[in-house]
Amino acid sequence: MSFLTIDHLDKWYGDFHVLDDVSLAVERGEVICIIGPSGSGKSSLLRCVNNLEAIDGGRIHLDGELIGIEPYKDGFAKLKGKVAAAQKQRFGFVFQNFQLFSNMTVLENIMLAPVRVKGQARAQARERALELLEKVGLSDRADSYPGDISGGQQQRVAIARALAMDPEVLLFDEPTSALDPELVGEVLKTIRELAGQGYTMLVVTHQLEFAQKVADRVVFFDKGRIVEQGAPAEVLDNPQDPRTRKFLEAVQVEV
């Protein structure tokens, strides 16, 4: 079994089949970039993997552990309580819109979850937070508030906050979509450096050049299904499915 295994995943929102029999195997240290049109199920996949959304069918395993559900009677039930909370800590989620607490400093934002959720001593959490701020190039912004720094810097703080929980898998949901174009590069540089350090990552992105340089594998989604996947040179430069070709042509025209 691969490090992260998604088997025949199904998710419905009412009558909308947002994830339709999705299977994906991710090896430890692999970087997967997920591309596709809006509404194709990319973000829903991340939310199901992280157990932010309940699944309606299929299985997710991380390093052999069943994620989000547990055996119950003749089937399965949604996992709750401390075990579910512990599973969520195995994933670090970086959202589109940062979700930092505006009334807390950058340092306090990063320290919050380790102290409150993991019960770390404040001194230990502070030391780790300062290390992470240096990692993302913001050691001089520890005492700033989110409103006083740029969007690109806020997203890098959000990345540091995710890393503070020492996750086994990092999930990025369009991490540059809320940024002005001139700020995109600094965030992608940070993610690229994390990839070079061996983190296992699933990155939903519309930045094809970034996917070309960083991804071990590119996965193209359309209408809730994986249409095509492979090395960046295969999927981005020589797509086999007409839906992939049509999407890439449209994106290149937009650029």
The confidence score (pLDDT) of residue 77 equals 87
**Mean pLDDT throughout 126-137?**
96
**Mean pLDDT throughout 240-254?**
86
Asked if residue 61 belongs to a domain, the reply is no
The confidence score (pLDDT) of residue 1 equals 86
Asked if residue 161 belongs to a domain, the reply is yes
What is the DSSP secondary-structure string of 64-89?
TEE-SEEEETTEEEE--HHHHHHHHT
Tokens of 244: 């992939």
- pLDDT score of 168 more than 60: yes
- pLDDT score of 175 more than 50: yes
> How is residue 151 annotated by DSSP?
H
Question: Which backbone phi and psi does 220 adopt, to 5 degrees?
Answer: -100, 125
- pLDDT score of 255 more than 50: no
The confidence score (pLDDT) of residue 254 equals 52
Asked if residue 11 belongs to a domain, the reply is no
- pLDDT score of 154 more than 70: yes
Note the pLDDT tens digit of each residue in 84-108.
Answer: 999 999 999 999 889 999 999 999 9
**Mean pLDDT throughout 179-204?**
92
Asked if residue 30 belongs to a domain, the reply is no
Rounded percentage of the chain residues whose pLDDT exceeds 70: 99
What is the DSSP secondary-structure string of 23-79?
EEEE-TT-EEEEE--TTSSHHHHHHHHTTSS--SEEEEEETTEE-SEEEETTEEEE-
The confidence score (pLDDT) of residue 251 equals 84
Asked if residue 226 belongs to a domain, the reply is no
* Domain encompassing residue 128: 100-165
Asked if residue 124 belongs to a domain, the reply is yes
Number of domains within the chain: 1
Higher per-residue confidence, 235 vs 250: 235
CA distance 45 to 40: 10
